[in-house]
Amino acid sequence: MPPTLDLYYERINSEVVVCLLGFPGFSFIGDSFQCGEMALTGDKNVILGEDGLPAANNLKRSENVAKDEEEDSKKKRTESCFDQPVDSSVHEVINYSPSALPAKHYDADTTEPISCGLSSMNELLSWNRSEANPFNVAAIPLTPRKPRLVNCLRRTLVSHDMMGGYLDDRFVQGTSSEAPFAFYHWQYIDIFNYFTHQMVTIPPAVWTNAAHKHGVIVLGTFITEWTDGAAVCEAFLKDEESYRAVADKLVQISHYYGFDGWLINIENNLSEGAVKNAPLFLHYLTEQMHERVPSSLILWYDSVIEDGKLKWQNELNQSNRIFFDACDGFFTNYNWTEENLEWMKNYSVVQGRQADVYIGVDVFARGKVVGGMLETNKALDVIRKHNFSAAIFAPGWVYESQSDKSEFRSHQDKFWALLSDYLYIHRPASQLPFISSFCQGFGKAVYRKGQHETAKSWFNLAAQEIQPLYYHMALEDRGWVRSSGCPEDAWDGGCSLLLDGLIPATLNTPICAKIFSLHVPLDSRIMVTLVYKASAGITVSLQLSTTDSSHCSHTDVHEVTLTSVTPETVGSGPQLESQMSELCGNKDLHGWTVRCSQLQLHGCVLREVCVLIHREGEPQDMTFSCRVGEIMVLDVGTLQPPTDPVRGLCIDDVVWLRGAGSAPESSSSCLRLNATLRWDYPVESVRHFRVYWRRLRGPDPRIPPGQLELLARAYSNQFRVTELLVPEPPSVLELLVEPVTRGGSLIPESWWGRRQLSYTE
């Protein structure tokens, strides 16, 4: 090994000046300098490969310096943009050059941002933040939960492997889709793994955002397979420097994109040297992930054994324990028997870490397995009998196995209902305001206040709101109640919550349809808002169950009568009264009933929310339905007029396209704008942003300015406008961003983000 050289850098006219410390007179300008076996590229200990270039697994620090400067420059440009007056204008001279945006991050035809993984070791080792995909960064941090994962003794992991991955979910801003797949039974699971057969699977941000809202950890996948995989492993597991370089990149990727760790799946034989370093790689990766992301997990899949042979064990044993000892958990292969579980339960290595052993269940039932398909509950029964965690692989079977994909909702609900007795509900531990419209992240239309905002089928998991409990529950004397998603009608988003059932004549008490299990501190006067549509013959109220926040020593049940809350009783000031009138005016809008109530609660934690269904009139068997459009629980003490305007609105990465118009009479090609919008606003305080545009001036001065037109909803502080049909040049248009707050505050238009764009040819 050559001696270590300490270097420092300066940049002169975009070139790197590298100086040896202690020899200030010795320097050179350029990218590298040959010195014996050392290449001075700005790294310490940069070893040359056979081709005379730095070895691929070295971090090229001089390149990173350049990229860091590029990021700093971009940040300064953005800051400058944020500081410009809102009425300032950006000017563009139209050109039709091909898009310079990287094709792996943006659709080649539309420039829509897309998610993707990495297919090779070269891609992984050359990954850096400056060339990463900013649109695929999760906007939602991991929500705390009760119980904490570390205290959960029998966990549930879902590994989502569907049709090669990166399907509709690859579109970061959503897409049009008649029959997409979505998952919404988050309350039952603890860990979500996005799985493909690419070497490095980076979870799409839409999945990370949806999971994090529900307190669910998200894992990417690092996989090597068969002959090619063996060659990759020989290279990166050959020595400490190599495996640390790979681990460092995996940590950086997870940290940058905002997910929580990795499933490591080495499904190929390893040489003696490689298998010796594999546990060291795992240990280092786990250690570094914990340091960077405290809630992170590294799991190992049951594949290779200690002698390097690819030999699935279907259990944790002496042959594979070295990998378990080096990381956070072990995911077994699927062909286990109950005897395997009985043996493991008494295995000394498992003692104290039984929750870290995830028993694999293949929902497709490939090979000789216990359960699978609609008998997956049989596998869960055996797993829970022996107190192990479960890893449910490819539950997208509920979608793939259906010829009519539009009916997958009922199939998915049936599947998870069969498992529900073996799954343990966790409670998102969020602060007020608590709000949900029950949107599942897809639908036949987008609704706003009970009316169509857009009238076409769509998919965007980033739009998914906190999900309720879905179930079918039997009552006495043939009575029943069911909770399910209803895409046929909604208050906001893509669906409402449908509660339907049969109230038997003998039932003299209200039906309590539990819709949420939570852990939300309450320490003040709260406002509860419910939006619903009820069938004739029933009345609706809410029931809130709380516990003492200090000791959880008792439970109180509060029935919330949804009567009347006037703006004057809540706060003072015309703006706040207007806000309360908007929220709680006891209005009936488009068939929806909007009702509010106030409660005085101190030192409590909200644990359950139930909708109470009361039968009116004489006792008799009666069917009922109640669509719940939205529920809000607000802290009245924090209801204040908004204080934060949107800061700046930057327009970047403009691409102009010519395309045929959609109108039948259109004979000429139309001008289309593609551009990235960025702004600054506290994301944690908003449900989403509404992005608009309008025409201000065009080539014909006789045509007046246009009206505001909604482009889309955005779920982070950036949005890519794609294929927007705009007037011919010379013209001026305006782009605007409206925050929709979680607390229902109305943001005056003067506080929206806005920027004018003028363009000429």
SS3 sequence, 523-535? EEEEEEEEEEEEC
pLDDT of residue 557: 67
pLDDT of residue 599: 86
Give the Å distances, CA to CA, from 39 to 5, 58, 185, 191, 561: 11, 11, 54, 44, 76
> Residue type for 685, please?
S
State how far the Cα of 269 lies from the Cα of 542, in Å rounded to an integer. 59
Q: Are 564 and 586 in contact (CB under 8 A)?
A: yes
Confidence of residue 71 (pLDDT cuts 50, 70, 90): low
The sheet with strand 446-448 has its strands ordered as 451-454, 446-448, 492-493
CATH of 647-760 given 1.10.420.10, 2.40.220.10, 2.130.10.10, 2.60.40.10: 2.60.40.10
Radius of gyration of the chain (CA): 29
State how far the Cα of 624 lies from the Cα of 136, in Å rounded to an integer. 43
Report the percentage of the chain scoring pLDDT > 70.
83
- For residue range 433-446, what is the model confidence (pLDDT) as tens digits? 999 999 999 999 99
pLDDT of residue 84: 76
**More confident position, 2 or 235:** 235
Across 58-72, 410-424, 454-468, 670-684, least confident range: 58-72
- For residue range 692-751, what is the model confidence (pLDDT) as tens digits? 999 999 888 888 999 999 999 999 999 999 999 999 999 999 999 999 998 878 889 999
- For residue range 283-292, what is the model confidence (pLDDT) as tens digits? 999 999 999 9
pLDDT at 551 over 80: no
pLDDT at 314 over 50: yes
State how far the Cα of 610 lies from the Cα of 535, in Å rounded to an integer. 18
pLDDT of residue 576: 56
Across 61-65, 166-170, 615-619, least confident range: 61-65
Confidence of residue 562 (pLDDT cuts 50, 70, 90): low
Residues 6 or more apart from 233 whose CB is under 8 A from it? 224, 266, 268, 270, 274, 278
Across 169-173, 224-228, 407-411, 585-589, least confident range: 585-589
Mean pLDDT of the region 21-42: 36
pLDDT of residue 262: 99
CB 684: neighbour CB atoms within 10 A? 10
Residues 6 or more apart from 371 whose CB is under 8 A from it? 361, 365, 377, 378, 379, 380
- For residue range 480-521, what is the model confidence (pLDDT) as tens digits? 999 999 999 999 999 999 999 999 999 999 999 999 999 999
Phi-psi region of 348 (alpha: psi -120 to 50; beta: other; left: phi over 0): alpha
> Residue type for 600, please?
Q
pLDDT of residue 25: 37
As given in the structure block, the two tokens for residue 477 are: 């004397």
pLDDT of residue 95: 94
pLDDT of residue 607: 93
Confidence of residue 35 (pLDDT cuts 50, 70, 90): very low
The angle that helices 226-236 and 272-292 make with each other, rounded to 10 degrees, is 70
Q: What's the number of CA atoms in the CB half-sphere (13 Å) around residue 197?
A: 8
Q: Are 438 and 467 in contact (CB under 8 A)?
A: yes
Residues 6 or more apart from 220 whose CB is under 8 A from it? 193, 194, 200, 201, 202, 203, 253, 254, 259, 261, 262, 263
State how far the Cα of 322 lies from the Cα of 166, in Å rounded to an integer. 33
**More confident position, 431 or 221:** 221
Across 412-426, 527-541, 558-572, least confident range: 558-572
Mean pLDDT of the chain: 87
pLDDT at 271 over 80: yes
State how far the Cα of 164 lies from the Cα of 167, in Å rounded to an integer. 8
> Residue type for 628, please?
V
Residues 6 or more apart from 255 whose CB is under 8 A from it? 292, 293
The angle that helices 240-257 and 226-236 make with each other, rounded to 10 degrees, is 110
The domain limits of the chain are 7-80, 121-428, 434-638, 647-760
- H helices present in 150-239, as ranges: 205-213, 226-236
CB 538: neighbour CB atoms within 10 A? 19
Mean pLDDT of the region 10-22: 35
Mean pLDDT of the region 128-143: 96
Give the length of the chain: 761
CB 235: neighbour CB atoms within 10 A? 16
- One DSSP character per residue, 448-516 reads ETTEEEE-S-EE-GGG-------EEEE-STT-EEEEEEETT--SEES-EEEEEEEE-TT--S-EEEEEE
Domain 121-428 has CATH 3.20.20.80: yes
As given in the structure block, the two tokens for residue 295 are: 């809630």
pLDDT of residue 588: 78
Domain 434-638 has CATH 3.90.76.10: no
